Amino acid sequence: MMLPVAATASCGAPDLLAPPPGPSPSVRTLRASITAEQSLVDGYHRVLAAYPALTAMLQPFLIQHDQHLAELKSRLIIPPHVKVTPLAAPSAAARAPASARAAVTMLGDAERSAAGAQLGRLATATPSLAQLLASIAASEATHAVALSALNPGDG
């Protein structure tokens, strides 16, 4: 009978006055990925609002980002006892560049940056999330190359 008592004695009593734990590293990684993907989606919406003639060229990229965002959000499960700040809201101050060509260049730069950031998150991701992030990063890198080949004119 002494063994069970000795085994539980080393666990200690929980600190009932301590605040609940914050989000786990994987939740923080997922939230960062969601915020980054939302930023790309918002960038595409700004460009398309300013240059509707680019819709046929850019809509396929936006559709993929919407799918990425939906998949990332579907994986975000925060236990009720964990307190987190709300996800960052999109910046209303950001505007589309002065020309369609500059807007497509801006999107390409954003895609390249997002791809690198997603790869940087792999170290703190769970294996299944790492697979998703790597896939999204590959998609974003492909988008950057494809956008650099587009010729939108100066619409």
Tokens of 85: 């700040």
Q: Enumerate residues 6+ apart whose C-beta is below 8 A from 70.
A: none
Which amino acid, residue 43?
A: G
Place of tokens 């950057």: 144
pTM of the prediction? 0.80
- Tell me: the pLDDT tens digits for 90-106? 555 577 789 999 999 99
- Give the pLDDT band of residue 127 (cuts 50, 70, 90): very high
Ramachandran bin of 52, using left for φ above 0, alpha for ψ from -120 to 50, beta for the remaining angles: alpha
Tokens of 54: 């680019």
Least confident range from 15-24, 39-48, 64-73, 126-135: namely 15-24
Say yes or no to pLDDT of 35 above 90. Answer: yes
Distance from C-alpha of 54 to C-alpha of 17, rounded to nearest angstrom: 56
Tokens of 2: 């002494």
Residue 46's CB: how many other CB atoms inside 10 A? 20
Delineate the domains of the chain, giving CATH numbers in brackets.
24-76+90-149 (1.20.1260.10)
pLDDT at 94: 72
